[in-house]
């Protein structure tokens, strides 16, 4: 039978298949192959003896939370308190895109902005929308409720950005479910390794927020470049095919920044990211 691993506690994997749950063990052969099943994996399993037989190829694999096959990352981005940071947003977008995950940006705390601050933030938001990112305000609850169906989602965002607040508005049960998990495990006692996907609004969501370490140093500079969707529109017009849009001459991206078609903060952040890792 085929199913999806939705929970792991030590060596017990809960596999969901046709709305039924099977608690399975992983075979020793996986240990020999140096792979272990992950929450999110699609697996073939023996439902008689409760053994996982085969792990399907993953489309991605996150370290924290330890989840495979994540479809989308919900980026909770506060515009104030903590202040809006294009650097953090662009960094997260790069990491997420590099992992073949679809980012969805949800802006929070617009109500804390003064009128003149609002205009500036709104022009940033309009830009991110224009270059193709799905963007919402956290007040658009009904629209946000529709994005989870049939997907595995991971929440991310700075501490204090409004993740828990939004989750409570989206799914009242979820609060209870996560509270039950912490209680069952005993808060603060690191006894068992535990990851779980929770059902939410027709999809699944990881029980812990992700991408805490937004380390770009493992991402090759050309991949960082390719994650900037707005640059890709013009890159064919650069003189060099593999232009890094840095010191090269006849670089169309630099032109587009000057002329105002590319947001200057995007280009500045890009340069910081590629130079941080000394390509
Ligand atoms: N004014 C305002 N406060 C918010 C909003 N969203 C969250 N907060 C507050 O911001 C603080 C941090 O929110 P929380 O959901 O705990 O953030 P988390 O750390 O990302 O889970 C709490 O005091 C929330 O009440 C918002 O849209 N507007
Ligand atoms: Mg929280
Ligand atoms: Zn270029």
Task: For the chain, give the number of residues.
Answer: 279
- Hey, whose CA ends up nearest to atom 9 of ligand 1? 162
Q: Report whether residue 79 contacts ligand 1, using a CB cutoff of 6 Å.
A: no
- pLDDT digit string, tens, across residues 65-92: 899 999 999 999 999 999 999 999 999 9
Rounded to an integer, the average pLDDT of 242-263 is: 97
- pLDDT digit string, tens, across residues 146-166: 999 999 999 999 999 999 899
Ion ligand 2, residues whose Cβ is below 5 A away: 163-164
Residues with Cβ within 8 Å of 213's Cβ and at least 6 positions away in sequence, in order, are 64
> Class of the 2-55 domain?
mainly beta
Task: Please state which CATH number belongs to domain 72-206.
Answer: 3.40.50.300
For 188: left if phi > 0, alpha if psi spans -120 to 50, otherwise beta; the answer is left
DSSP 127-155: HHHHTT-EEEETT-HHHHHTT-TT-EEEE
Q: Report whether residue 156 contacts ligand 1, using a CB cutoff of 6 Å.
A: no
Same fold, 2-55 and 72-206: no
Q: Where are the domains of the chain?
A: 2-55, 72-206, 221-276
- Hey, whose CA ends up nearest to atom 6 of ligand 1? 162
Stated pTM of the model: 0.93
Kindly report the number of other CB atoms within 10 A of residue 137's CB atom: 16
Rounded to an integer, the average pLDDT of 213-225 is: 86
CA 137 – ligand 2 centroid, Å = 18
| Assigned CATH topology for domain 221-276 | Ribonucleotide Reductase Protein R1; domain 1 (1.10.40)
Q: pLDDT grade, residue 257 (50/70/90)? A: very high
- pLDDT digit string, tens, across residues 86-136: 999 999 999 999 999 999 999 999 999 999 999 999 999 999 999 999 999
Average pLDDT for the chain: 91
Give the separation between CA 14 and CA 52, rounded to whole angstroms. 10
């Amino acid at each position: 039978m085929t199913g999806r691993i939705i929970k792991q506690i030590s060596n017990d994997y809960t596999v969901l298949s046709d709305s039924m749950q099977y608690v399975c063990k992983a075979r020793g052969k996986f240990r020999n192959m140096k792979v272990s099943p992950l929450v999110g994996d699609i697996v073939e399993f023996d439902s008689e003896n409760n053994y996982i037989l085969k792990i399907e190829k993953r489309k991605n694999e996150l370290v924290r939370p330890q989840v495979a096959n994540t479809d989308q990352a919900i980026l909770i981005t506060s515009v104030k308190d903590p202040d809006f940071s294009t650097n953090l947003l662009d960094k997260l977008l790069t990491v997420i895109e590099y992992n073949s995950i679809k980012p969805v940006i949800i802006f929070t705390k617009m109500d804390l902005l003064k009128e003149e601050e609002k205009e500036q933030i709104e022009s940033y938001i309009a830009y991110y929308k224009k270059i193709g990112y799905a963007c919402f305000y956290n007040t658009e609850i009904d629209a946000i409720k529709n994005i989870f169906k049939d997907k595995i989602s991971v929440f991310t965002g700075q501490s204090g950005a409004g993740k828990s607040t939004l989750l409570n508005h989206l799914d009242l049960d979820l609060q209870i479910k996560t509270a039950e998990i912490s209680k069952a495990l005993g808060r603060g006692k690191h006894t068992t390794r535990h990851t779980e996907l929770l059902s939410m609004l027709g999809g699944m969501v990881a029980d812990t927020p992700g991408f805490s370490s937004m380390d770009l140093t493992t991402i090759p500079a050309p991949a960082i470049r390719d994650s900037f969707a707005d640059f890709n529109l013009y890159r064919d017009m650069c003189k060099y095919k593999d232009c890094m849009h840095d010191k090269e001459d006849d670089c169309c991206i630099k032109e587009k920044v000057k002329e105002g078609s590319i947001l200057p903060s995007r280009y500045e952040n890009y340069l910081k990211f590629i130079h941080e890792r000394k390509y």
